[in-house]
């Protein structure tokens, strides 16, 4: 597609190849913005909870499901016979020896949960938190793209599961797997799939999405980090924003040329939360005290700092991506505190521990998705919460238990997998099952 046509589609809020609002074909939804645009959604949960339409067994993993083409796509991991995951410590550590097992790409019927096909490959793990894969599949133009924990990038036929092409980041780029595994969800732009890879001069690599051919590579960083790349329109042109373990940068999506780079190191290279773009600004956040808003120039791809976080302002996400609306930022800060700050200054307006049972919990996670004038929040207890978020505070409307936490972290069981919202349902998983729950208004 011509560049002008691409820009028009981007400005109108549509990604190339995006499917209808009834689908959830990638992490954070069709437009990768954590907005669920379906109507006819229930106002509160029934007393006995929303109706579970189906359950199907799966293996371990942190990846969320993708829903498209009347199918649900998910990654998981099965340990080899006799293999065992090492006990996770508070201080992260790699296992002394690699842990044998297989990563799998699974495809289920959206209406019934019946398994339609699976693709699997040997994948010894060398990471901390070795439960399973991290990145949500992407479904685009009849293909499904997956990125495994150890850097296995695969393109499969979505109808049959046939392998079309693959890349091995360690073998092909001499990349070192991050201590918590490859977690940066790839980004599709036109004919390119852009990945955080690692390796010499290959922190970011663009591949042709149909053939796997390398189109360009850019940057060199000691730590690739965990943050997904994003596409924005600023300075009169599209820009790919990346955040590796040492800096944030803007790249030309056509050729990988670096427009700007700004030092933004994080504790243990924990650049995880996706930057949020709003009003020609970008917001970055990371645990324990990294928060930054930058202003993007209107006539060229350049930036300047608006404010930095400190002990009096900002929010500091460990995993989840914040939500920006009407000049305010809502996000899950350290110890599971839901926080609201002013976007232009970083001033904190309120914080609440209510979504996490009024408990301060290390690395507590909370996934935030907007639907209409309400938010759907999935916490690490396996609960789904309907709430309103405003500068005035947190207003909980309804809460329901959907599944049991099964992964162990910090001495407690958690659900650390982002749900999908499609066909007026939520699709969510733990390390034992994938479930589909109706959220349709009766």
Convert the pLDDT of each residue in 342-351 to its tens digit. Answer: 999 999 999 9
Domain boundaries in the chain? 3-438
The mean pLDDT of 108-113, rounded to a whole number, is: 98
For domain 3-438, the CATH superfamily is: YVTN repeat-like/Quinoprotein amine dehydrogenase (2.130.10.10)
Percent of the chain predicted with pLDDT > 90: 89
How many C-beta atoms surround the C-beta of residue 139 within 10 A? 25
Closest CA to 37 of 373, 438, 384: 373
- The DSSP code for 361 is -
- Report which secondary-structure segment, H or E, holds 283: strand 281-286
Per-residue confidence band for 266, with pLDDT thresholds at 50, 70 and 90: very high
Question: Is residue 280 over pLDDT 50?
Answer: yes
Q: Rounded CA gap, 354 and 381, in Å?
A: 12
Q: Rounded CA gap, 343 and 293, in Å?
A: 8
pLDDT tens-place string over residues 400-438:
999 999 998 888 999 999 999 999 999 999 999 999 999
| pLDDT score, position 22 | 85
Question: Is residue 17 over pLDDT 80?
Answer: no
| pLDDT score, position 21 | 43
Question: Is residue 5 over pLDDT 90?
Answer: no
Per-residue confidence band for 13, with pLDDT thresholds at 50, 70 and 90: very low
pLDDT tens-place string over residues 111-150:
999 999 999 999 999 999 999 999 999 999 999 999 999 9
Closest CA to 59 of 115, 103, 95: 103
Tally the residues of the chain: 442
Per-residue confidence band for 86, with pLDDT thresholds at 50, 70 and 90: confident
| pLDDT score, position 301 | 96
| pLDDT score, position 89 | 61
**343 backbone φψ class: left, alpha, beta (φ>0; ψ -120 to 50):** alpha
Closest CA to 38 of 369, 314, 278, 346: 369
Cα of first residue to Cα of last residue in the chain, in angstroms, is: 43
Per-residue confidence band for 380, with pLDDT thresholds at 50, 70 and 90: very high
**How distant, in Å, are the alpha carbons of 68, 155, 210, 364, 417 from that of 324?**
26, 32, 34, 20, 21
Torsion sign, CA atoms 232, 237, 238, 244: negative
| pLDDT score, position 98 | 95
Closest CA to 334 of 348, 322, 317, 319: 317
Q: Rounded CA gap, 166 and 186, in Å?
A: 14
CB 332 within 8 A of CB 317: yes
| pLDDT score, position 18 | 38
Q: Rounded CA gap, 294 and 307, in Å?
A: 7
| pLDDT score, position 261 | 98
């Amino acid at each position: 597609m011509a560049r002008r046509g691409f820009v028009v589609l981007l400005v109108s809020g549509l990604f190339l190849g995006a499917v209808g609002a009834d689908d959830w074909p990638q992490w954070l939804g069709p437009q990768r913005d954590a907005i669920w645009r379906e109507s006819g959604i229930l106002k509160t949960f029934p007393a006995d909870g929303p109706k579970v339409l189906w359950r199907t067994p799966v293996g371990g993993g942190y990846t969320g499901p993708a829903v498209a083409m009347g199918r649900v796509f998910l990654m998981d991991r099965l340990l080899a016979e006799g293999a065992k995951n090492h006990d996770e410590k508070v201080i992260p550590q790699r296992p002394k020896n690699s842990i044998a097992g297989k990563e799998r790409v699974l495809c289920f019927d959206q209406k019934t949960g019946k398994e339609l096909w699976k693709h699997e490959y040997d994948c010894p793990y060398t990471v901390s938190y070795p439960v399973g894969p991290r990145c949500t599949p992407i479904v685009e133009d009849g293909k499904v793209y997956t990125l495994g924990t150890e850097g296995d990038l695969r393109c499969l036929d979505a109808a049959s599961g046939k392998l079309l092409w693959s890349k091995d980041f360690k073998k092909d780029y001499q990349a070192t797997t991050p201590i918590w595994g490859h977690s940066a969800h790839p980004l599709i732009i036109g004919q390119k799939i852009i990945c955080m890879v690692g390796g010499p001069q290959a922190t970011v690599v663009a591949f042709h999405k149909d053939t796997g051919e390398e189109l360009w590579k850019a940057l060199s960083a000691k730590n690739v980090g965990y943050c997904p790349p994003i596409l924005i329109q600023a300075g009169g042109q599209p820009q790919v924003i990346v955040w590796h373990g040492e800096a944030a940068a803007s790249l030309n999506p056509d050729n990988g040329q670096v427009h700007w780079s700004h030092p933004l190191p994080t504790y243990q290279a924990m650049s995880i939360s996706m930057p949020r773009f709003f009003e020609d600004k970008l917001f970055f956040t990371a645990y324990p005290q990294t928060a930054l808003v930058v202003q993007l120039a209107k006539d060229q791809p350049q930036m300047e700092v608006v404010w930095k976080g400190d002990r009096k302002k900002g929010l500091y996400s460990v995993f989840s991506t914040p939500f920006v609306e009407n000049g305010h930022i809502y996000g899950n800060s350290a110890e599971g505190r839901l926080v609201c700050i002013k976007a232009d200054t970083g001033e904190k307006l309120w914080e609440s521990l209510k979504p996490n049972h009024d408990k301060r919990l290390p690395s507590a996670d909370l996934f935030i998705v907007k639907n209409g004038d309400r938010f759907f929040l999935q916490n690490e207890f396996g609960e789904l919460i309907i709430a309103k978020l405003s500068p005035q505070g947190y207003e909980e409307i309804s809460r329901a238990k959907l599944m049991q936490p099964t992964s162990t972290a910090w001495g407690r069981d958690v659900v650390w997998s982002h749900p999908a919202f499609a066909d007026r349902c939520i699709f969510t998983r733990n390390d034992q099952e994938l479930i589909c729950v109706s959220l349709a208004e009766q």
